[in-house]
A and B are shown apart, each in its own frame.
Chain A
Amino acid sequence: MMTRTYLLRRIGYSAAAFFVSITITFFLLHLMPGDYITNYFLSLGNTLPQETIQQFYEEFGLNLPLPQQYLNYLINIVQGHWGYSYEYSRPVLSLIWEKLGWTLIILLPATVIGIIAGSLIGAYSGWKTGTKKDLALFNIMIIIRAIPEFWWAIMAVIIFSYYLGLFPLGGYSSISVLYTGIDWLDVLYHAALPTALMAFLIATGNYYVMRNSMISVIGEDYITTARAKGLSEREILWHHAMKNAILPMVTMTTLQFASIIMGSIFIETVFSWPGLGYLTTEALRMRDLPLLEGIFLLDTLLVIAANLIADVTCSLLDPRIRTGDDGD
């Protein structure tokens, strides 16, 4: 079982990693030519009198010494004050929450489908390792993975939406939304192609993990024992091999849900889907540093939490994992 020191150590690393991320964002904000408030007013296009600006400086604590400001920044992050977006003139955190929902509409089903499909194909490939079928699958996966995500997305739009006309070209809703309000069936119709594509890409990523895991499992003694007992191949596969080989997928699943930016930025950008990935591209294009930092902090937080959860779940599921040592 999990030792307490191990858990504490993991939590310590996670906290340190988040702390480092916060420090990076703080220094970037403060190293920026001009400061946050000046840039914010510039972005609003205001020409305020000097006294007002001075007053803002004092109220926002920008006249304080740097260590004091740093402390304030830390407290603000913890309390959920993540700054204001230049472009949208809104608190960063509320903007992110709004877009997160849109991302999850395609990310959740895509991850579930992708993980199930990837695990099944990977398990089959690993189980049949060395055969022609395994080799063919493996080579196909290499080729699929070597093609960049945004190129898959563009090709999907061109083939399925432009030439075949099966799906809309992009966006999240038809133009009729202006008169009738959001029609969720219409939204699902728009979400279908990006979801399918993302599921496809997630499946190919999971294929490798599952295949490798399966290959190492079928070399284990308990598989030989199961064979010696005279169990059928089907029974060995589902009851002995699958159960053990699925373990690394726990980590994969958790991390996949967490890496929403990396996972969705290209697909959302190509399909103009109004989620976090698209917001990230917009923030880049508009040079909206506070917004981008907010997105970065959120992603860091999610990935760190996911790592922690995955570690803990894995060691709970599999007592063989030695938790006293960090594996170095």
Chain B
Amino acid sequence: MTVTRTLVLYISVAILFLYAIIAVFAPLLTPWDPHAISGTPLEKPDALHPLGTNDTGQDILSQLLYGTRITLLIGFGAAILSVVISTSVGLVTGYYGGLFDEIVSRIIDIFMTIPLFPLLLVLALFFNPSIWTMSILMGALGSTHGIRVVRSQVLSLAQSNFVEGARAIGASDFRIMTRHILPNIMPIVVVKFVTSSQHYLVMGVGLSFLGLWDTTTIDWGTMINQAYSSGGVALGLWWWLLPPGIAVVGISLALALIGYSFEEKFNPRVGVNRL
């Protein structure tokens, strides 16, 4: 990795931490409740409301800060679930093989053919989702690709000499899987986690931008939707529309860059190609 790459990685990680801190300490950073009507509608930015108020008189800055919680929860929640499912299912099917593996692989083949996004919309409409159900749905439905990736790695590792050796000295299957195979697939799992969290985070904001859940849950997608459809553009109220958008772009970029740096580090072939 070059010096600039390393620097970019550090900056990205710093941005990620900044978002996490904002999410955790949101109540300390702003005096206003994001749901409360704390001023007159469409106030311009001033000392009381640094980003002004929206069309119902809610403080935009506190919506932005509290929105970090929802957006991060959806993105990382779905990514954690997806990675846990794909790692455990991939590990078990790849290690044992046989009929069970065959059945799971065929089911995944079938599900991978169904387009995920429209299915998600249909299910979301039906379940009338809270942010939790939404992130569970995204994580579970999106885990199929990860299962394949992990499984193919485990398949070759399960045949390797050190696994053979561990078995020879009488290690249990569970121990071999968790102590010997898992550490070897960790790099892929980490890369997959970072790239999926970026993917799910953007998808979550996109879904709420489309108005998928009720507007009482304030996240960046809802904010952008409100600002865009309630005339934030036509009135030139940039402090209403731009901050949530820039917030999404910022974390999405940070995660994408971390993902690429990791990939470069763990996958030597990519590094050679890129010098």
Contacts and interface: CB of A to CB of B under 8 A. Distances in A.
Nearest to B236: A162
Given A280-B121, A292-B122, A154 B113 contact: no
A300 B114 contact: yes
Interface in A251-293: 259, 261-262, 265-266, 269-270, 280-281, 283-285, 287, 289, 292-293
Interface centre among B105, B125, B252 (most CB of A within 10 A): B125
Interface stretch (B41-49, B61-69, B82-90, B205-213): B205-213
Contacts of B125: 283-284, 287, 289, 292
B166 interface: no
A146 B253 contact: yes
Interface residues of B, number: 42
Interface magnitude class on chain A: 35 or more
Interface in B217-275: 224, 228, 233-234, 241, 245, 248-249, 252-253, 255-257, 260, 273-275
Given A281-B211, A292-B121, A146 B275 contact: no
Which 7 A-B pairs give the minimum distances between C-beta atoms? A17-B113, A146-B256, A130-B275, A296-B118, A262-B117, A146-B253, A299-B118
A25 interface: yes
A88 interface: no
A82 B186 CA distance: 46
5 contacts: A130-B273, A147-B249, A151-B248, A261-B115, A269-B210
B224 A150 contact: yes
A296 B121 contact: yes
Interface stretch (A44-52, A73-81, A135-143): A135-143
Contacts of B205: 148
B220 to A, nearest CB: 10
A262 B115 contact: yes
Contacts of A92: none
B7 interface: no
Given A17-B114, A130-B273, A262-B118, A281 B224 contact: no
Nearest to A31: B126
B245 A154 contact: yes
Contacts of A20: 110-111, 114
Nearest to A163: B236
B122 A25 contact: yes
B249 A148 contact: yes
Nearest to A289: B125
Interface in B74-100: none
A187 to B, nearest CB: 23
B56 to A, nearest CB: 19
A163 to B, nearest CB: 9
A289 B260 CA distance: 39
Given A135-B274, A296-B122, A150 B115 contact: no
A129 B273 contact: yes
B211 A13 contact: no
A96 to B, nearest CB: 12
A21 interface: yes
A134 B113 CA distance: 33
A266 B206 contact: yes
A259 B256 CA distance: 23
Contacts of B126: 28, 31-32, 289
B198 interface: yes
B195 to A, nearest CB: 11
B211 A285 contact: yes
A307 B113 contact: yes
Given A292-B121, A303-B115, A146 B249 contact: yes
Interface in A31-64: 31-32
Contacts of B6: none
Interface string B194-207: 00001000100110
Contacts of B117: 259, 261-262, 265
A270 B111 CA distance: 30
